[in-house]
Amino acid sequence: MNVGPNEKRREDALKNALIQIFYTDTIGSCHVENAVEFLRPIPNEKIGQILRLVRLISGSVSDLLAFSFMENCSKALEYLDLDQMEEWVTKALSIYEAQGLHPATEFLSRPHETALSFGNSKRVATLEDVAGKLSILASGLTERTIRFEPSNTPFTDGETVYLPRTFSRFRNLEENLLFLKISAIHKISQIRFNSFLAPKDILIKLFPELDELKSEVDRPGIVHLLNILSERFKKTDILNLYSLIETIRIEKRLEEDFNGLKRDLFSFKNNLLKSIGPENSLMGNDAISQIGRFILMNYDPKFLPKDKSLRGYVKRLLKRNSTNIDSLNTLKFLLKNQNVINTLPLKGPFFYVGTINLSKLEIKILERRKKLEKKFVEILGALIVKNQCKGPLKKELEKASKDLKNTPSITDDIDSALAMVFQKGHCKDKKDSFLNCEHIILHENQDLLEKLKGVGREIMEDLGKIPSSYVSSTLDLATGYYDPTLLLDSKKEEAPSFLFFSYPEWDFRRGDYRENWCTVKEMHSNRASGNFIETTLRKYKGQVETLRRQFELMRQDFMCEKRQKDGQEIDIDAYVEAYTDLKARLSPTERLYYRLKQDRRDIAVLFLVDMSASTEGWVNQAIKESLVLLTHAIELVGDQYGIYGFSGMRRTGCQYFIIKDFNEGLTNTVKERIIGITSRDYTRMGPAIRHSTNKLKEVEARIKILLVLSDGKPEDYDEYKGPYAIEDTRMALFEARQYGVKPFCITIDKEARSYLPRLYGAANYIFVPDVRLLHKRVPEIYRVLTT
Amino acid sequence: MESDQRLSSFFISKKPFYLPVGNEIELAEIAYSHCLPLLLKGPTGCGKTRFMEYMAWRLKRPLFTVSCHDDLSTSDLVGRYLIKGGETIWMDGPLTLAVKNGGICYLDEVVEARKDTTVVIHPLADDRRKLPIEKLGIILDASKEFMLVISYNPGYQSVLKDLKPSTRQRFIAIDFRYPDEEHERKIVEIEAEIDHGLSANLVKLGRMTRRLKEQGLQEGASTRLLIHAGKLIKSGIDVNLACEVAICQPLTDDEELLNGLKEMIKAVF
Ligand SMILES: Nc1ncnc2c1ncn2[C@@H]1O[C@H](COP(=O)(O)OP(=O)(O)O)[C@@H](O)[C@H]1O
Ligand SMILES: [Mg+2]
């Protein structure tokens, strides 16, 4: 390593000091070299104090712990001043006393977490500080749910924004918080303004010389392109260059649309300018420096690149209608003029721009592509099924499906794709159609159509077209599709202690039930012990307290019953009416009183918990936590409730688990069954719902609610999937309503599925994308539903 | 004479400002010409009431609006006897007035009313178009001009309050949602009498708040709330404060959501 004479002297001094401290046979000289390396970043004015602490640790307890301290002390200094550092060390020593070397080392090895409670954390901005607010802002900006996760360098994979867990490079907290915010906004804008998606055709046109681009047609366009370019131009940091160019485009767009963010960007750039030292010369005349300068100077026209052609490209980026293609064009220009490219001297101040992680992006883009295809097929399928009531349409569809398969042509846009499907039979808002419809004309189709268009637009951003296969596979699904021949289960499970029930299933293709199609086996759920309940109640202490207040209020609801035959007070309205009736020679009513009575809530709720394999892990844990909090709260109100779980495999193997029967109290056995809830097999929802309805039928209550907690779609091992499963579930819910049961579904999933409104009815479900919020959401939903 | 005067107050003489967003005017006119009752579905504050005022003006019919609540009784709709100077006189309720005078009866937020109250509208809603008045012992026939309109908010999640299918199925439904960005900007601009830029920002904010369903915000800011904020700002109140009190606070009490909403305000203004 290249070290100046001063450095050398300092190093020798350090070495000497360390040898004095550790002068024993156990410490070899290579360890000392390591230690010098650890201490190199410590500024001179602090090194004395640090060495004192090293001596303290090694002298009083352990050399190994002292090494661990040295290894981490430069990091810890980011959070602590020297006084606080001493406290931090004292804490480590006491951990050593109490628990031994390993926990103490562990404590010291996480300065970013353990040091925070010691203090000058006042300056340190943490991701937790900002993530909550920013994720809400991010939803507003992108119409998606965006998560935040820690990482050393900022980047995004298109769904999650990765940011440093803590940041403290600026002088005060405010500036550090602003850094995290601006960096987050930059990532969010890459998503909002589409930095990473472009149809391949366009890119091939833009870079016709790159033959590789034409191969591997399915790789996401921009990711593939950037990969190829990085290979070709090894000396240039293509990814950073592209990010930098995109920065102009996306920040400019942000500034135009959001005054507040514009101000934030302005003060952020000021902070940056203040913080970069003279060695970070902004004076370069190469293209990158010119671009960097323009960004740092907050797009002051005075700092537009001097180079005339470059200026043209940059000006194009400033236009409102610029796209990522303009950025790629600029990139292409810069790469052609190799001479304007050196390295990137500006990495320091542009830390906030972060990096691009091509492999993570690619994974997410491909995942998203699949999801969008599925969504598209689902919505289109739902639309078709809805419009299927008339027989001839089905024939039309089958024909359209065949035609589509025979023409390799690509459907160019959504409208024409839709036109193919809906040419016939679609009820338009034409005047005379009103007269044909005897019933209400609900515009639910409109809703679905709009969603379909939205999904279509997202697909186009990536692929530039809707592949015809998307449409034809929908048609398959909606018409002939799955072979209904079933693998018949030969062996029937028999166990005397189980109860068996048999239920029909709705086959929407035939428009009829399959009688006695499913067998439901009812049994008690497994028990498990442990302190899960206590831990959960402790973990959410604050929430438990709030719930107690809210739920006690519910119990004390008073209701004023008007127009009663007897009661505490005279009902003035009724009295006046009776009096006037009398005068008008009508026979007056006798119901002249009102009664204040404690509202007998008279509610029975059945919780139906999805115990399918897909709930394994976090979801299962969250469901259990929610049940603990909820049961705790309901006990205060005194509503009747039962908890049941379901899973199983195949129509003859539906399982229904009793966790808490309606007539059971919240006993220890019940608690153990809650703890014992585990994930099992598949999700055949129909039979479980039908069985629950039967259970509710036997309960006496004015209001009966069936609350389903599940993590997504009904699906079994056999043909029970897609529209078949959805339509059967829908029918089961419909049957429940016929018996006066109000179904409501809580769906835990990362993304709202388009079939949910069809399945549950728009107002009868809620969708919780973040399982970490489930424990909050469930009791809240219960409260809203029953008041 | 007196009743004439009373009646005339239900006509809307000045053209209300209503900016059509889709084909809702056309649909309502078709329903009217075919004597079909109308159901306006949509979130609160998206222009349903204003639309009916406009339609009443356009069709030149008196408008009788009833805001429904769970204490609403059949007498409140149909009418009752009152005592005046020792005598009883019959006083028509809004529904009866509308039927007698060929007007429009608009039952706002109909799910709020108890079911036994709303049964009186059933014979009016189907092709009988009759209103029985028990106390008078008569049955009124509605004229061709009479129109029944009800509104409700489908986003409402209390399962205890839902429209009975047998009621729903008699109606022609118009789906109201918040106007698209362009229209909403214009509406807020005109209604709050503010400049284009400010209204554009308010609408931008409003639309951002409507994307938080997954974060736990059932309903985002309505057009009405945006107009309120606009008016406050126009009267000289600081933008941030105005948005906070007129938009954020009415939407939620949740601390985390409030912080997020404030972050949105800070970003937009
Ligand atoms: N299309 C529109 N044209 C004009 N004003 C509108 C329109 N939509 C909404 N508004 C404004 O929004 C406000 C709230 O609408 P309102 O009709 O009271 O809502 P709702 O009855 O749906 O709850 C109205 O006072 C009006 O100022
Ligand atoms: Mg209204």
Q: Is residue A226 part of a domain?
A: yes
Structural tokens at position A392: 């001839």
Q: Helix A173-192 crosses helix A238-257 at what angle (to 10 degrees)?
A: 100
Calpha distance A261→A263 (Å, rounded): 5
Model confidence band, residue A162 (pLDDT cutoffs 50, 70, 90): very high
Q: Which residue has the tokens 């021949």?
A: A485
Greatest pairwise CA separation for chain B in angstroms: 66
Q: Which residue has the tokens 């419809």?
A: A437
Q: Bigger pLDDT: B102 or A490?
A: B102
Residues A173, A230: one domain?
A: yes
User: Least CA distance to B163: which residue of chain A?
Assistant: A763
From A10-14, A644-648, B136-140, B196-200, the region with the lowest mean pLDDT: A10-14
Whether residue B215 and residue A135 make contact (CB cut-off 8 A), yes or no, is: yes
Residues A314, A169: one domain?
A: yes
H helix and E strand count, chain A: 32, 16
What tens digit of pLDDT does each residue of A349-364 get? Answer: 888 998 899 999 999 9
DSSP state of A409: P
Atom of ligand 1 nearest to the CA of B19: 3
What does the mean pLDDT of chain A come to?
A: 80
Q: Are B268 and A260 in contact (CB under 8 A)?
A: yes
Q: What separation in angstroms does the CA of A734 have from each of A342, A455, A507, B96?
A: 68, 28, 14, 37
From A27-36, A743-752, B39-48, the region with the lowest mean pLDDT: A27-36
pLDDT at residue B94 in the model: 94
Structural tokens at position A403: 């035609």
Model confidence band, residue A635 (pLDDT cutoffs 50, 70, 90): confident
- Which residues lie closer than 8 Å to A321 by C-beta, 6 or more apart? none
Model confidence band, residue A481 (pLDDT cutoffs 50, 70, 90): very low
- Strand pairing partners for A547? none
Is the Cβ atom of B219 under 6 angstroms away from ligand 1?
Answer: no
Counting as low any pLDDT under 50, the low residues of chain B are 1, 157-160
Radius of gyration of chain B (CA): 21
pLDDT at residue B207 in the model: 95
Residues A38, A156: one domain?
A: no
Q: Which residues of A touch B83 (CB under 8 A)?
A: 576, 579-580, 583
What's the length of chain A?
A: 787
Site from A427, A429, A439, A440 to mutate, B interface, most B CB atoms within 10 angstroms = A440
- Which residues lie closer than 8 Å to B75 by C-beta, 6 or more apart? A577, B93
Tell me what percent of the residues of chain A surpass a pLDDT of 90: 23
pLDDT at residue A487 in the model: 26
Whether A480 shows a pLDDT value over 80: the answer reads: no
Closest CA to B245 of B258, B264, B263: B258
Closest CA to A689 of A701, A706, A702: A706
Structural tokens at position A536: 């959960």
Smallest Cβ distance to B268: which of A260, A764, A780? A260
Closest CA to A418 of A388, A385, A391, A453: A453
Q: How far is A376 from chain B, CA to nearest CA, in Å?
A: 21
Q: Is residue A513 part of a domain?
A: no
Average the pLDDT over A412-422 and give the result. Answer: 53
Which ligand number lies closest to the CA of residue B43?
1
Is the Cβ atom of B43 under 6 angstroms away from ligand 1?
Answer: no
Q: Helix A63-76 crosses helix A29-39 at what angle (to 10 degrees)?
A: 20
Calpha distance A161→B136 (Å, rounded): 70
Is the Cβ atom of B136 under 6 angstroms away from ligand 1?
Answer: no
Calpha distance A660→A642 (Å, rounded): 5
Q: How far is B90 from chain A, CA to nearest CA, in Å?
A: 9
SS3 B40: strand
Whether A435 shows a pLDDT value over 50: the answer reads: no
Model confidence band, residue A440 (pLDDT cutoffs 50, 70, 90): very low
Ligand 2 center–CA A448 separation, angstroms: 26
Long-range contacts of B189-193, Cβ-Cβ distance < 8 Å, separation of 24 or more: B190/B17, B190/B19, B191/B17, B191/B227, B191/B230, B192/B226, B192/B227, B192/B228, B192/B229, B192/B230, B192/B231, B192/B233, B192/B234, B193/B230, B193/B231, B193/B234
Residues A540, A564: one domain?
A: no
| DSSP codes, A431-482 | HHHHHH--S---THHHHHHHHHHHHHHHHHHHHSSB-HHHHHHHHHHHTT-S
- Which residues lie closer than 8 Å to B111 by C-beta, 6 or more apart? B68, B152, B153, B156, B161, B162, B163
Structurally, chain A folds into a number of domains equal to 5
Site from B214, B243, B256, B257 to mutate, A interface, most A CB atoms within 10 angstroms = B214
Residues A242, A132: one domain?
A: yes
Domain covering B4-175 in this structure, CATH number: 3.40.50.300
- Which residues lie closer than 8 Å to A313 by C-beta, 6 or more apart? A326, A329, A330, A333
Element (H, E) at A768: strand A765-768
Q: Are A274 and A318 in contact (CB under 8 A)?
A: no
Structural tokens at position B81: 């006897």
Whether A331 shows a pLDDT value over 90: the answer reads: yes
Q: Bigger pLDDT: A154 or A5?
A: A154
**So where are chain B's domains?**
4-175, 181-268
Whether A396 shows a pLDDT value over 60: the answer reads: no
Calpha distance B130→B127 (Å, rounded): 8
Q: Which residue has the tokens 């809240």?
A: A780
Q: Is residue A509 part of a domain?
A: no
Residues A310, A365: one domain?
A: no
How do strand A593-598 and strand A569-570 relate by DSSP bridges?
Answer: antiparallel
Residues A686, A774: one domain?
A: yes
Residues A334, A456: one domain?
A: no
Most confident of A25-39, A365-379, B217-231: B217-231
Q: Are B131 and B140 in contact (CB under 8 A)?
A: yes
| DSSP codes, A505-538 | EEETTTTEEEEEEEEEEEEEPP---SSHHHHHHH
Q: Is residue A515 part of a domain?
A: no
CA angle (B243, A785, A137) in 5-degree steps: 30
Whether A399 shows a pLDDT value over 70: the answer reads: no
Residues A86, A157: one domain?
A: no
Model confidence band, residue A166 (pLDDT cutoffs 50, 70, 90): confident
Site from A546, A575, A580 to mutate, B interface, most B CB atoms within 10 angstroms = A580
Smallest Cβ distance to A744: which of B75, B135, B159? B159
Atom of ligand 1 nearest to the CA of B40: 22
Calpha distance A775→A746 (Å, rounded): 12
Give the type of residue at B54: Y
Q: Which residue has the tokens 């400019």?
A: A252
Structural tokens at position A454: 């939205």
Calpha distance A156→A191 (Å, rounded): 8
DSSP state of B246: I
Q: Which residue has the tokens 């009083």?
A: A60
Calpha distance A675→A634 (Å, rounded): 18
Whether residue B173 and residue A441 make contact (CB cut-off 8 A), yes or no, is: yes
Q: Is the Cα dihedral A612, A613, A615, A620 positive or negative?
A: positive
Q: Which residues of B touch A134 (CB under 8 A)?
A: 263
* B 94-133: CB under 8 A from A: none
What tens digit of pLDDT does each residue of A284-295 get? Answer: 778 888 888 899
Closest CA to A674 of A536, A520, A501: A536
Structural tokens at position A260: 């507040």
Give the residue, out of B224, B225, B226, B228, with the most ligand 1 atoms within 8 A of its beta carbon, to mutate for a pocket test: B224
Whether residue A134 and residue B168 make contact (CB cut-off 8 A), yes or no, is: no
Give the residue, out of B12, B24, B46, with the most ligand 1 atoms within 8 A of its beta carbon, to mutate for a pocket test: B46
Structural tokens at position A769: 């994308």
* Interface A-B: count of C-beta contacts within 8 A: 137
Q: What is the dihedral of CA A452, A453, A457, A460, to 10 degrees?
A: 70
Residues A292, A408: one domain?
A: no
Structural tokens at position A141: 């900006």
Residues A324, A379: one domain?
A: no
pLDDT at residue A696 in the model: 93
- Strand pairing partners for A657? A523, A645
From A181-185, A770-774, B69-73, B260-264, the region with the lowest mean pLDDT: A770-774
pLDDT at residue B164 in the model: 63
Calpha distance A658→A642 (Å, rounded): 8
Structural tokens at position A519: 């067998």
pLDDT at residue A408 in the model: 42
What tens digit of pLDDT does each residue of A375-385 get? Answer: 888 777 766 66
Residues A261, A173: one domain?
A: yes
CA A566 to chain centre: 55
pLDDT at residue A494 in the model: 30
Q: Are A739 and A696 in contact (CB under 8 A)?
A: yes
Q: Is residue A514 part of a domain?
A: no
SS3 A655: strand
Calpha distance B266→B269 (Å, rounded): 6
Closest CA to A779 of A601, A547, A476: A547
| DSSP codes, A316-370 | HHHSTT--HHHHHHHHHHHHHTGGG----TTTTGGGGG----HHHHHHHHHHHHH
Calpha distance A446→A352 (Å, rounded): 43
What tens digit of pLDDT does each residue of A536-585 get? Answer: 888 888 888 888 877 777 765 566 777 888 877 888 888 888 888 888 88
The domain containing residue A73 runs over which residues? 5-118
Q: Which residue has the tokens 């118009």?
A: B174
Q: What is the dihedral of CA A24, A29, A32, A33, to 10 degrees?
A: 180
Is the Cβ atom of B46 under 6 angstroms away from ligand 1?
Answer: yes
